[in-house]
């Protein structure tokens, strides 16, 4: 089961070159020469910091190059964090205020209408901003972040953490895509 595309497939070499002055091959050569994947393998944080501090790469591109390098050199798989854990994510823009989106996760009656098979226990929530919840009795966890686009438009981002493997990542990517679509339908009706 596919967990998604590598970052090198999502961010084109041309776009990377325009933003940073080098394409993927160029940055991989820089990191190989520096010894990023060598015998004394550098950490994700060290690689990103090196790109930022020594090569002037902005934070977002430094992270993207680091993830691309780790994936290309077999140091991590798509869907795997730098710590080796498995995570899935999905997002959806909904035409609803952020506070209403938070309520759709927190209020069990509303949640059952768009997430009937979701076994979650809310741990923390900041109305209109974010929430965290245990999933399936604490076997995994979700983080929900809301980005306000306007008073009536919100981007909902769900991260599902502590998953078992790449198959679980693929399954939950699809699960969250479907359920965020159901949330959008409910909130916009």
d(CA 154, CA 162): 26
What letters, b where the CB count within 10 A reaches 16 and e where it falls short, cover 8-25?
A: beebeeeebeeebebbbe
Query: What does the alpha-carbon distance between residue 123 and residue 141 come to, in Å, rounded to a whole number?
Result: 10
Distance, CA of 80 to chain centre: 10
Quick one: how far is CA 78 from the chain centroid? 11
pLDDT at residue 145 greater than cutoff 80: yes
What are φ and ψ of residue 48, in 5° steps?
A: -60, -40
How does strand 153-163 pair with strand 140-150?
antiparallel
Mean pLDDT of 64-89: 90
- Report the pLDDT value the prediction gives residue 2, as an integer from 0 to 100: 54
Tell me the C-alpha distance between 121 and 131, whole Å: 11
More confident residue, 83 or 23: 23
Q: Write out pLDDT tens, residues 149-181.
A: 999 999 999 999 999 988 999 899 999 999 999
Q: Where are the beta strands (DSSP E) in the chain?
A: 86-94, 120-126, 130-135, 140-150, 153-163
Residue 133's CB is within 10 A of a number of other CB atoms, namely: 21
Looking at residue 19, what is its pLDDT?
A: 96
CATH, domain range 86-188: 3.30.530.20
* pLDDT score, position 81: 83
Q: Domain extents for the chain?
A: 7-72, 86-188
- Tokens 């690689």 belong to residue: 47
């Amino acid at each position: 089961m596919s967990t998604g595309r590598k970052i090198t497939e999502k961010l084109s070499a041309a776009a990377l070159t325009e933003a940073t002055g080098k394409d993927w091959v160029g940055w991989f050569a820089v990191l190989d020469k520096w010894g990023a994947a060598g015998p004394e393998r550098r950490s994700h944080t060290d690689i990103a910091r090196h790109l930022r501090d020594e090569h002037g790469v902005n934070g977002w591109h430094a992270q993207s190059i680091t993830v691309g390098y780790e994936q290309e050199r077999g140091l991590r798989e798509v869907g795997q964090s730098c710590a080796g854990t498995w995570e899935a994510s999905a997002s959806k823009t909904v035409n609803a205020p952020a506070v209403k989106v938070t309520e759709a996760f927190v209020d069990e009656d509303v949640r059952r209408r768009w997430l009937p098979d979701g076994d979650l226990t809310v741990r923390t929530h900041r109305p209109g901003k974010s929430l965290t919840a245990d999933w399936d009795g604490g076997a995994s966890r979700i983080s929900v972040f809301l980005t306000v686009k306007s008073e009536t438009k919100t981007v909902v981002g769900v991260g599902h953490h502590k998953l078992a493997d790449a198959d679980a990542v693929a399954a939950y990517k699809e699960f969250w895509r479907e359920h965020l679509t159901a949330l959008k339908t409910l909130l916009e009706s």
